[in-house]
Structure 1
Amino acid sequence: MIDDELAVAVEAEIRQATATEVMPRWRQLAEHEVESKSGDHDLVTVADRLAEKALTASLSRLLPGSVVVGEEAVHADPDSYRALQGERPVWIVDPVDGTRQFVRGEEGFCTLVALAQRGELLASWTYQPTADAMATARLRGGALLNGEPLVAGSPEGERPWRVALSHPDFTTDAQKRALLGLRADGVDPRPCGSAGLEYLNIARGDLEGVAFSWEHAWDHAAGLLLVAEAGGAHATLDGTPFRVTGGNALPFTAGRDATVVRRILDLLGGQR
């Protein structure tokens, strides 16, 4: 389904949508162009909506018969999320991942696109426009950053493992207790930024792991495939792989290798 021609075409459409709808509004947003959805931590801008609209049109055209599950479309029509459980190929789109950072005029945001079918991730694209960094992955085809191979590797030396954690507003009381387990010797936890960029940090070996308590496919699909194809691993709280179709045991983790994932799961489970 994913050949070189399609992969290149998807990358071009992501770059075009970002250049047209996102970057001209970076550090230029008017007050009326920013709204909150479920709370002050959950923002949407005109850039999110227009970029998703552009990608929905272009990606559907590139792969006839496919459907799009986008963050903003699902917010408007929650039933559209069910497409992930169907038979048709599904583009999973987060037009601006890290909207809070985007609104603040920071550089830590990206555009995420993944292609899945019957719950299996086939390809992904993670684009940070402020750094012109394009990370791509294909199932059993490896991971690349601007055309160069990405290898997550394993933690080295005696330094604490750096782990990015869910924002507290996204966690239940039980999940907060589980995440407290990562305040342990040998672990250096910090709040997460853009989920897509945290996965990229793992794939390039700059971060040991993440522990997230929400499962929206648009936040995780692209990054989980990127980490896996860079040699990393991921698992949910009950030890099973994360499923983009939902129903996961939370929190879940991804890390540079299986050892990191097992250790994080042990620490999370010890607080239940």
Structure 2
Amino acid sequence: MIDEFLDHVLAGGTTEVEEAIRKAAAAEITPRFRQLAAHEVVEKNGPHDLVTVADQAAEAHLTASLTALLPGSVVVGEEAVHADPTVYEAIQGDAPVWIVDPVDGTRQFVHGESGFCTLVALARRGELLASWTYAPVLDEMAVAVRGRGATLNGAPIRSARSAAPDTGTDLQVATSHPDYTTDDQKRALLGLDVEGVRPRPCGSAGLEYLAVARGDLDATAFSWEYAWDHAAGLLLVTEAGGAHTTIAGEPFRITGGNALPFTAARDQATAERIRTLLRGR
């Protein structure tokens, strides 16, 4: 059953997962958009790390529906890991794992802004197989399947754009919020403050990855490695023709232990340029 389902997904049959994600958002997220009461929003690790009843309910909804689609699979969700950090270890296990961020961009969601999304990735033994990025207010569903490309609302997308760095166009780079960086990482990110590069703080990580995948953003530079923020977007960028690398010149691993910061970019040359700047060279 597991291998048949994985074969089905890898062949492009992602409709059931898309429907599960849409249903979870329709039931638990969009009805609460701009309707949250003060007691329904809680700080986890500071004012920039929020959780709402929508996050919790949507993750529970997705956990039930996704594991029903793929018996024997497990879910690693942001809120479940917050409650029990040992849940994260499943990413390294043999069972297929759904990596879920129910509301990526919770701060934007709380403020009534449209820039948030639901992120789901399917992986096995640390290898990304498929991913879904759904922005319900924007009505955008991006899907990536390993070896089969990336789509946005059913249409293929590519990360390359006509303007290249040597044409005089500044590189647009979304970077980590300072609250989530160590002193060493802050110094590395300062390497992007050079002529020809225009860094800015990131919003929803999932939507920043989508912007890279569709060619609207040149790169990201992130300093944290929680898989629920990055798994879906990394596969999306890769399947759209982009590349990713850590500061050590290695591909980012969803199992952890990465040298940080790392970048995802619209092509390999841009990824290497960002890595060189992050290393101070």
Fold-level similarity (TM above 0.5) = yes
TM-score (norm. length: structure 1): 0.98
Identity %: 67
Which one-letter code corresponds to 2:250 in the other structure? T
- Whether the aligned pair in 2 keeps the contact of 1:165 and 1:191 (CA below 8 Å) is yes
Query: Which residue of the other structure, out of 218, 231, 234, is the alignment partner of 1:224?
Result: 234
Q: Residues 77 and 151 (structure 1 numbering): CA distance in 2 closer, same or farther, change over 3 Å?
A: same
Query: Which residue of the other structure, out of 157, 169, 175, is the alignment partner of 1:150?
Result: 157
- The answer to whether 1:249 aligns with 2:256 is no
Which one-letter code corresponds to 1:192 in the other structure? C
Aligned positions of 1:33-182 closer than 5 A: 33-154=40-161, 155-156=163-164, 157-182=167-192
Compute the displacement of 1:203 (Å): 0.5
User: What is the alpha-carbon root mean square deviation over aligned residues?
Assistant: 1.0
- Whether the aligned pair in 2 keeps the contact of 1:2 and 1:123 (CA below 8 Å) is no
Partner of 2:8: 3
Partner of 2:246: 236
Q: Secondary structure at the match of 1:201?
A: helix
Partner of 2:278: 268
Which one-letter code corresponds to 1:265 in the other structure? R
Q: For residues 118-174 of structure 1, what are the alpha-carbon distances to aligned partners after superposition, in whole Å with 9 as ceiling and x for unaligned?
A: 000000000000111000000001000000001001443421000000011100000
- Whether the aligned pair in 2 keeps the contact of 1:152 and 1:230 (CA below 8 Å) is yes
Q: Secondary structure at the match of 1:159?
A: coil
Partner of 2:197: 187
Q: For residues 184-203 of structure 1, what are the alpha-carbon distances to aligned partners after superposition, in whole Å with 9 as ceiling and x for unaligned?
A: 11101000000000000000
Partner of 2:35: 28
Question: Aligned equivalents of 1:171 and 1:113: distance in 2?
Answer: 25
Partner of 2:213: 203
Q: For residues 24-55 of structure 1, what are the alpha-carbon distances to aligned partners after superposition, in whole Å with 9 as ceiling and x for unaligned?
A: 00000000000000111100000000000000
Q: For residues 104-126 of structure 1, what are the alpha-carbon distances to aligned partners after superposition, in whole Å with 9 as ceiling and x for unaligned?
A: 00000000000000000000000
Structure 1 residue ranges without an equivalent (≥5)? none
In the alignment of these two chains, the number of paired residues is: 271
Question: Aligned equivalents of 1:88 and 1:186: distance in 2?
Answer: 45
Partner of 2:3: none
Structure 2 residue ranges without an equivalent (≥5)? 1-5
Question: Aligned equivalents of 1:11 and 1:54: distance in 2?
Answer: 14
Compute the displacement of 1:6 (Å): 5.1
Which one-letter code corresponds to 1:31 in the other structure? A
- Whether the aligned pair in 2 keeps the contact of 1:25 and 1:47 (CA below 8 Å) is yes
Compute the displacement of 1:3 (Å): 1.6
Question: Aligned equivalents of 1:267 and 1:251: distance in 2?
Answer: 11
Question: Aligned equivalents of 1:255 and 1:243: distance in 2?
Answer: 16
Q: Secondary structure at the match of 1:108?
A: coil
Question: Aligned equivalents of 2:83 and 2:254: distance in 1?
Answer: 20
Query: Which residue of the other structure, out of 237, 248, 268, is the alignment partner of 1:258?
Result: 268
- Whether the aligned pair in 2 keeps the contact of 1:126 and 1:136 (CA below 8 Å) is yes
TM-score (norm. length: structure 2): 0.95
